[in-house]
């Protein structure tokens, strides 16, 4: 139910100076007019007060009962009041728990832990039969009224003599360290106690730690939390002096129990006396904040001092050793009083009495020091309190007294009690601390704050497993842990002594990482202990030691700072490494995408909280790689930092630095305690993958300079190949480096990566070798023709001289074998000729197309007549295309010469075969024209021999037909000269053409078009002249060879003394057709000398119009120069990375160094081009396959997490 509080008076609940104040609250109007009553009060260590409000249930008549609901009001130190009301139905608590017995209340509450309450109550299977049916239960409820858990504690106490159920006989003592739980002591019967230890775990459930029993014979029995985290049970022990002479009449014994252990240590005697004791008025024990260990106050009466109370203060250690006992007397002016030790020294004695009228109570009390001195409060004496009288003294010595209720209001009055040890109080709520650096409420510069110091009043020693923690105030009341260190971490690296009184704590760089932010320090109880007594000392459990960081300093506007700021404002990628344990854990689910996502989501959230920044600033691509530098292998994970969206947020670089520091110091940061971040390797930290510009700016600068140089050199040498070659070499080197360095770091792709680097290299190398070898092994067409001529002559001669009349079978078979061998040789040569013709045809494809296009152009020019301007333009366009093709072809060295030679070789081949016919001389008779197949098959002899001969003839014809078909396709090559002659004639015709009349006079535009047409024809004519010039040179070369042979013959005759008659006989014996051939050649050379000189005179003019030769055919380029062959080997290896790199051999680059002159002017053949094409296709397929196979395996692990 929602509660409305109306403040009747503004108050300050916790005041530093002694003062009194009060406040009242008005509850909402209930359904029945019942006044709210303050039944019980309790408090937390931070001064928060918890009040239970009840209303009397007037519907019950048998006993005093309250309404069946739990109403809790919480008053925080800042004055905020909250509360909740839970009905018994919601609580599932039986009604009898809301009935108040004369001395005991079945339902009680304890401030067990920050923000949590422990509610104890009873459940009964049979309310009318308490024996063995009533059970004590515990319930955990938070301050918002949410029920966290319920747990059975033990059977409820029932007096075995009277069979009477007596509730609330147990006592609960909170541990010195609240998170360690509580101690419960409950009587089992009249002589045994059940001793239990419990803890509220992280799920807010009550967890049993230990359980044991002890017997007892006397009261009172007191339990106390000891400074070492355990508990002690203190009780009196009486001895009759009559039965045992010279023994003490009374002693105080104590059992000690370690936290979570059932083993009892003791009993130890902490006090004893032989003085007769009338009775023990009071026994109260608690751990002390003024001295060391624990203190018990024993109040006794002796027979001789009936009007005096003897106070005995017993100071003892957690080991049971008593180190101090103090006695003082106090008048018995208070009856039925209670005593409470004060945190600032002394004791508060108080008692209540009921006045003559009314139900409220008068409160009497004062402060008493160890010498019996009294100190009064600043309230009226006696002070009025409500009928419950549940007063409470807070840790800061503030006394809160419930006020009498009226109507629907209730209230408290508070006052600060006198602090006896105020001189030792410096604001730390710890009277052992003298000073600290920084001081409380200081302003610190994080860049200068490298350590904290704590100075104590007394000599101290550090204790293991106790921490000092620095937290950032996040406004939640819990804080964000920045650093937590102890002496046993890294051999005192973070916590050490300056001297016996002073402790120094090293602060890591990431601790104070937020400007203008509040930080505070908490110290575990027992962090230090007394050097003399070896007893743990209380620490600081509340955020009282706090300080602020300075505002962020503005950086200068220098260029370097601006560059750094710009870089820091951009996102950055990084990586962390898992420990061996973390790697094993990650491997267990790395193939489960859902679990991987969950792992990374939780890890990035923990890292964001540790810095702290928003969760959107820490991201990941959920990929990993293998760190091959360690053994066993460890996984490296990708963790990225996004740039800030809003001004004032932490920069990327500072986050990266903090994250690296946090991980490297995970033993003292929240990283080490995270469920997922604990798996991060502190030896690795957080390594940022430098931003591209940050990492590569030297390389970038070098690359820019290198590229500038290469490009400049390329433009100077008019060759872009320099730049292309440099990049080709770079690609080759980086591919090898990736495979040898990076690929091995990525799980599952190293083998694939190695394969898909070496396999394409081998494939490309194979293509490259194929190209080079084919070019080197190309046959010389002229040599092939010589072989064909020799073999045909040999076969023809053998066929003529063979006889069919020889009846010797052996001789016939030998002749067939010889003929078969020679025909097979001829067939083989024809096959090689066929292959060479195919390559020639491929190389002359442009020439064949050029011839056909020239035919079309010539026909179009013939038909021009009075054609319009558009038709002329179309012809000019075609001519330009033809001339451009010629220009490109003429860039190839010796192209025209090769064209002339190919034409002559084709003629010679055609003459050799003469359409499958040859001339043979049979029986020394005249020559006859017969089929070559007939010569091959006309062997004579047996049927078997003829069968062999017929088979040979078929193979020959098959190869011959292929050559014939190829030669028909090459006719256009020989046709080119004719078409060029036609173009020349048409050019002359167009030049000499004049308009016949004014009517027919062409327009200015037409005249311009015709002139352009003539210019294009003149360009064609230049090409024709080049072919004529080459042809003449070829004829001159043949004449020169002929003259050389003639001179050789004359020299031979002279040296061998051959007479004129002999020569004449030889000459007479020459055949007529040889004489005619000689005459024909002589006449030819005579005419050549005549007009050849004219061509030679114009040679300079002719060649002047032709472009400079740039390229050489690859086969010739390879054979001509040894240096080229070395370069080819290098580029063949380079082509292993990319087959297209062979194209660079034709880049036009020229290298001259000492005696080396290498010109990259190779022109790859069409066959090589086809090989390059299929090599490229193969590379694409291999690349696609590699992506298909490698991509799934690198789905989580990018080799370049960086």
Report which of residues 936 and 400 the model is more confident about.
400
pLDDT value at 640 more than 60: yes
Query: Which pLDDT score, from 0 to 100, does residue 459 have?
Result: 96
pLDDT value at 848 more than 80: no
Lowest mean pLDDT, pick from 306-320, 408-422, 489-503, 1118-1132: 1118-1132
**Domain spans of the chain?**
426-549, 559-689, 720-777+1110-1193, 781-993+1002-1031
Question: d(Cα 941, Cα 937) in Å, to the nearest integer?
Answer: 11
The answer to whether 641 touches 618, Cβ cutoff 8 Å, is yes
Query: Which pLDDT score, from 0 to 100, does residue 176 have?
Result: 92
The 10s digit of each residue's pLDDT in 122-178 is 999 888 876 778 999 999 999 999 999 999 999 999 888 888 888 889 999 999 988
**Residue 1195 — pLDDT band, cuts 50, 70, 90?**
very low
Integer CA distances (angstroms), 439 to 290, 436, 930, 960, in order: 22, 5, 125, 110
Question: d(Cα 329, Cα 338) in Å, to the nearest integer?
Answer: 16
Query: Which pLDDT score, from 0 to 100, does residue 117 have?
Result: 97
Q: Regarding the domain delimited by 559-689, which CATH topology (the fold level of the hierarchy) does it fall under?
A: Alpha-Beta Plaits (3.30.70)
The 10s digit of each residue's pLDDT in 683-741 is 999 998 876 666 667 777 877 787 787 677 777 766 665 676 666 666 666 666 666 66
Query: Which pLDDT score, from 0 to 100, does residue 473 have?
Result: 93
Average pLDDT, the chain: 78
Query: Which pLDDT score, from 0 to 100, does residue 421 have?
Result: 92
pLDDT value at 215 more than 70: yes
The 10s digit of each residue's pLDDT in 912-951 is 666 444 444 444 444 444 455 555 555 444 555 455 556 6
The 10s digit of each residue's pLDDT in 1088-1129 is 445 445 444 444 443 444 444 466 676 677 666 555 566 667
Report, in this order, helix, strand and coil percent for the chain, each rounded to 5: 40, 25, 35
pLDDT value at 631 more than 80: yes
Question: d(Cα 220, Cα 1112) in Å, to the nearest integer?
Answer: 118
Lowest mean pLDDT, pick from 774-788, 891-905, 1045-1059, 1113-1127: 1045-1059
Residue 672 CB neighbours (<10 A):
18
Q: How many CA within 13 A on the CB side of residue 987?
A: 20
Mean pLDDT of 496-513: 95
Q: Token pair for residue 1039?
A: 């004449």
Percent of the chain with pLDDT over 70: 68
pLDDT value at 434 more than 90: yes
Query: Which pLDDT score, from 0 to 100, does residue 418 have?
Result: 93
**Residue 815 — pLDDT band, cuts 50, 70, 90?**
low
Question: d(Cα 471, Cα 478) in Å, to the nearest integer?
Answer: 9
pLDDT value at 800 more than 80: no
The answer to whether 40 touches 18, Cβ cutoff 8 Å, is no
Contacts of residue 1081, defined as CB under 8 A and 6 or more positions apart, other chains included, come to: 1042
Contacts of residue 712, defined as CB under 8 A and 6 or more positions apart, other chains included, come to: none
pLDDT value at 382 more than 50: yes
**Residue 1026 — pLDDT band, cuts 50, 70, 90?**
low
Lowest mean pLDDT, pick from 213-227, 381-395, 533-547, 880-894: 880-894
Query: Which pLDDT score, from 0 to 100, does residue 1038 have?
Result: 56
Query: Which pLDDT score, from 0 to 100, does residue 511 have?
Result: 95
The 10s digit of each residue's pLDDT in 1132-1186 is 666 666 666 666 666 666 666 566 666 666 777 777 777 777 877 877 777 666 6
The 10s digit of each residue's pLDDT in 66-85 is 999 999 999 998 888 999 99
Greatest mean pLDDT among 211-215, 282-286, 877-881: 211-215
Percent of the chain with pLDDT over 90: 36
**Residue 278 — pLDDT band, cuts 50, 70, 90?**
confident
Rounded (5°) CA angle 472-431-494: 45
Question: d(Cα 173, Cα 284) in Å, to the nearest integer?
Answer: 12
The answer to whether 470 touches 521, Cβ cutoff 8 Å, is yes
Mean pLDDT of 1055-1084: 48
Integer CA distances (angstroms), 412 to 340, 391, 398, in order: 19, 9, 12
**Residue 819 — pLDDT band, cuts 50, 70, 90?**
low
pLDDT value at 1066 more than 50: no
Query: Which pLDDT score, from 0 to 100, does residue 966 have?
Result: 66
Query: Which pLDDT score, from 0 to 100, does residue 552 have?
Result: 78
pLDDT value at 5 more than 70: no
Lowest mean pLDDT, pick from 142-146, 419-423, 523-527, 785-789: 785-789
The 10s digit of each residue's pLDDT in 969-1022 is 666 666 777 777 777 777 777 777 655 444 455 566 666 766 777 777 777 677
Torsion from C-alpha of 790, 793, 796, 800, nearest 10 degrees: -130
Mean pLDDT of 1025-1054: 59
**Residue 89 — pLDDT band, cuts 50, 70, 90?**
very high
The CATH code of domain 426-549 reads: 2.60.40.1220
**Residue 558 — pLDDT band, cuts 50, 70, 90?**
low
Query: Which pLDDT score, from 0 to 100, does residue 915 have?
Result: 42
pLDDT value at 623 more than 80: yes
Residue 1148 CB neighbours (<10 A):
17
pLDDT value at 53 more than 80: yes
Q: Token pair for residue 513?
A: 């990482």
The 10s digit of each residue's pLDDT in 884-895 is 777 777 777 666
Report which of residues 1198 and 251 the model is more confident about.
251
pTM, two decimal places: 0.62
**Of 324, 295, 118, 278, nearest in space to 222 by CA:** 295
Mean pLDDT of 454-469: 94
The alpha carbons of the chain give a radius of gyration, in whole angstroms, of: 57
**Residue 431 — pLDDT band, cuts 50, 70, 90?**
very high
Query: Which pLDDT score, from 0 to 100, does residue 80 have?
Result: 87
* H helix or E strand, kind and range, residue 1052: helix 1004-1055
Say if residue 438 is preceded by a cis peptide, omega within 30 of 0.
yes
Mean pLDDT of 579-601: 94
Beta bridge partners of 521: 470, 545
Greatest mean pLDDT among 131-135, 333-337, 914-918, 1063-1067: 131-135
pLDDT value at 743 more than 70: no
The answer to whether 289 touches 264, Cβ cutoff 8 Å, is no
Backbone CA torsion sign across 352, 353, 355, 357: positive
- CATH topology identical between 426-549 and 559-689: no
Integer CA distances (angstroms), 888 to 47, 474, 848, 974, 1108, in order: 98, 78, 15, 20, 11
């Amino acid at each position: 139910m929602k509660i409305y509080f109306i403040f009747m008076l503004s108050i300050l609940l916790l005041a530093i100076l002694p003062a009194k104040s009060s406040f009242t609250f008005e509850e909402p109007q209930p359904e029945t007019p019942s006044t709210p009553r303050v039944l019980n009060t309790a408090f937390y260590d931070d001064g928060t007060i918890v009040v239970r409000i009840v209303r009397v249930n007037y519907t019950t008549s048998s006993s005093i009962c309250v309404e069946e609901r739990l109403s809790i009001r919480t008053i925080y130190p800042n004055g905020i009041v909250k509360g909740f009301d839970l009905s018994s139905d919601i609580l599932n608590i039986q009604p009898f728990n809301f009935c108040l017995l004369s001395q005991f209340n079945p339902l009680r509450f304890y401030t067990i832990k920050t923000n949590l309450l422990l509610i104890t109550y009873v459940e009964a299977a049979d309310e009318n039969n308490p024996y063995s049916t009533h059970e004590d239960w515990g319930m955990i409820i938070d301050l918002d009224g949410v029920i966290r858990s319920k747990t059975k504690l033990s059977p409820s106490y029932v007096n075995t003599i009277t069979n009477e159920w007596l509730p609330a006989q147990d006592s609960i003592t909170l541990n010195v360290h609240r998170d360690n739980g509580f101690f419960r002591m409950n009587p089992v019967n009249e002589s045994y106690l059940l001793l239990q230890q419990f803890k509220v775990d992280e799920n807010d459930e009550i967890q049993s730690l230990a359980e044991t029993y002890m017997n007892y014979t006397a009261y009172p029995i007191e339990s106390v939390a000891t400074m070492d985290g355990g508990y002690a049970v203190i009780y009196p022990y009486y001895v009759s002096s009559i039965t045992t002479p010279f023994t003490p009449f009374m002693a105080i014994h104590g059992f000690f129990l370690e936290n979570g252990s059932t083993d009892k240590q003791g009993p130890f005697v902490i006090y004893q006396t032989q003085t007769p004791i009338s009775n023990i008025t009071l026994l109260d024990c608690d751990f002390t904040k003024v001295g060391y260990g624990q203190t018990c106050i024993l109040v006794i009466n002796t027979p001789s001092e009936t009007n005096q109370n003897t106070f005995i203060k017993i100071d003892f250690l957690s080991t049971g050793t008593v180190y101090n006992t103090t006695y003082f007397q106090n008048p018995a002016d208070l009856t039925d009083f209670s005593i409470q030790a004060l945190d600032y020294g002394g004791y508060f004695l108080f008692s209540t009495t009921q006045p003559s009228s009314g139900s409220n109570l008068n409160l009497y009390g004062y402060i008493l020091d160890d010498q019996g001195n009294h100190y009064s409060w600043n309230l009226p004496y006696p002070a009025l309190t409500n009928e419950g009288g549940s007063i409470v003294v807070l840790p800061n010595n503030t006394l809160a007294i419930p006020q009498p209720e009226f109507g629907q209001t209730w209230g408290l009055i508070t006052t600060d009690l006198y602090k006896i040890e105020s001189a030792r109080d410096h604001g730390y709520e710890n009277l052992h601390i003298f000073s600290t650096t920084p001081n409380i409420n200081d302003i610190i510069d994080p860049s200068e704050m490298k350590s904290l110091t704590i100075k104590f009043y007394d000599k101290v020693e550090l204790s293991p497993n106790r921490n000092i923690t620095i937290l950032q105030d996040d406004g939640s009341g819990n804080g964000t842990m920045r650093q937590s260190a102890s002496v046993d971490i890294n051999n005192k690296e973070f916590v050490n002594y300056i001297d016996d009184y002073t402790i120094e704590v090293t602060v890591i760089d990431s601790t104070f990482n937020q400007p203008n932010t509040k930080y505070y320090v908490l110290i575990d109880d027992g962090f230090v202990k007394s050097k003399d007594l070896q007893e743990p000392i209380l620490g600081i459990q509340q955020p009282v030691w706090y300080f602020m960081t300075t505002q962020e300093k503005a950086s200068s506007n220098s260029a370097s700072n601006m560059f750094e700021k710009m870089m820091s404002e951009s996102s950055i990628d990084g990586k962390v490494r898992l420990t061996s344990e973390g790697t094993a854990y990650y491997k267990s689910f790395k193939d489960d995408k859902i679990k991987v996502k969950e792992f990374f989501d939780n890890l990035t959230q923990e890292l964001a909280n540790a810095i702290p920044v928003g969760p959107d600033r820490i991201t990941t691509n959920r990929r990993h790689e293998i760190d091959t530098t360690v053994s066993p292998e460890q996984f490296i994970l990708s963790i990225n930092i996004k740039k800030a969206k809003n001004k004032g947020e932490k920069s990327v670089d500072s986050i990266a630095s903090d994250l690296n520091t946090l991980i490297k110091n995970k033993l003292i940061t929240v990283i080490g305690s995270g469920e997922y971040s604990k798996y991060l390797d502190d030896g690795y930290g957080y390594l940022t993958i430098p931003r591209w510009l940050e990492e590569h700016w030297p390389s970038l600068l070098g690359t820019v300079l290198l590229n500038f140089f290469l490009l400049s050199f390329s433009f100077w040498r008019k060759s872009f190949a320099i730049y292309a070659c440099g990049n080709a070499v770079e690609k080759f080197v980086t591919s090898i480096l990736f495979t040898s360095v990076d690929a091995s770091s990525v799980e599952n792709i190293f083998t694939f990566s190695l394969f898909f680097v070496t396999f394409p290299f081998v494939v490309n190398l194979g293509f490259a070798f194929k190209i080079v070898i084919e070019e080197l092994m190309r046959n010389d067409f002229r040599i092939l023709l010589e072989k064909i001529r020799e073999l045909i002559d040999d076969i023809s001669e053998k066929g003529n001289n063979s006889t069919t009349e020889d009846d010797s079978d052996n001789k016939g078979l030998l002749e067939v074998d010889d003929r078969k061998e020679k025909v097979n040789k001829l067939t083989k040569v024809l096959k090689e000729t066929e292959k060479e013709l195919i390559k020639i045809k491929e190389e002359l494809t442009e020439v064949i197309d050029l011839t056909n296009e020239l035919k079309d152009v010539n026909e179009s020019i013939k038909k021009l007549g009075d054609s319009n301007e558009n038709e002329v333009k179309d012809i000019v366009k075609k001519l330009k295309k033809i001339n451009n093709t010629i220009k490109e072809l003429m860039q190839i060295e010796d192209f025209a010469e090769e064209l002339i030679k190919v034409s002559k070789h084709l003629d010679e081949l055609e003459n050799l075969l003469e359409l499958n016919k040859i001339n043979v001389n049979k029986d020394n008779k005249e020559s006859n024209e017969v089929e070559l197949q007939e010569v091959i098959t006309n062997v004579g002899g047996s049927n078997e021999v003829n069968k062999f001969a017929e088979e040979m003839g078929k193979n020959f014809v098959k190869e011959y037909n292929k050559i014939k078909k190829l030669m028909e396709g090459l006719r256009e090559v020989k046709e080119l000269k004719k078409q060029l002659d036609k173009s020349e004639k048409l050019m002359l015709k167009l030049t000499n053409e004049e308009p016949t009349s004014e009517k027919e006079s062409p327009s200015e535009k037409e005249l311009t078009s015709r002139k352009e047409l003539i210019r294009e024809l003149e360009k064609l004519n230049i090409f024709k002249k080049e072919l004529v010039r080459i042809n003449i040179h070829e004829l001159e070369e043949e004449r020169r060879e002929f003259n050389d042979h003639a001179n050789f013959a004359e020299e031979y005759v002279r040296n061998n003394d051959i007479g004129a008659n002999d020569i004449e006989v030889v000459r007479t014996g020459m055949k007529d057709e040889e004489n005619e051939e000689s005459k024909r050649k002589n006449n030819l050379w005579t005419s050549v000398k005549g007009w050849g000189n004219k061509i030679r005179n114009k040679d300079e003019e002719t060649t002047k119009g032709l472009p400079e030769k740039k390229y050489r055919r690859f086969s010739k380029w390879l054979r001509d120069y040894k240096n080229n062959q070395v370069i080819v080997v290098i580029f063949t290896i380079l082509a292993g990375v990319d087959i297209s790199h062979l194209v660079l051999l034709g880049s036009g680059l020229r290298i001259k160094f000492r005696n080396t002159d290498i010109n990259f002017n190779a022109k790859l053949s069409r066959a090589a081009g086809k090989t390059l094409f299929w090599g490229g296709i193969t590379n694409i397929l291999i690349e696609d396959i590699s992506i298909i196979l490698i991509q799934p395996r690198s789905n989580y692990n990018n080799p370049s997490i960086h």
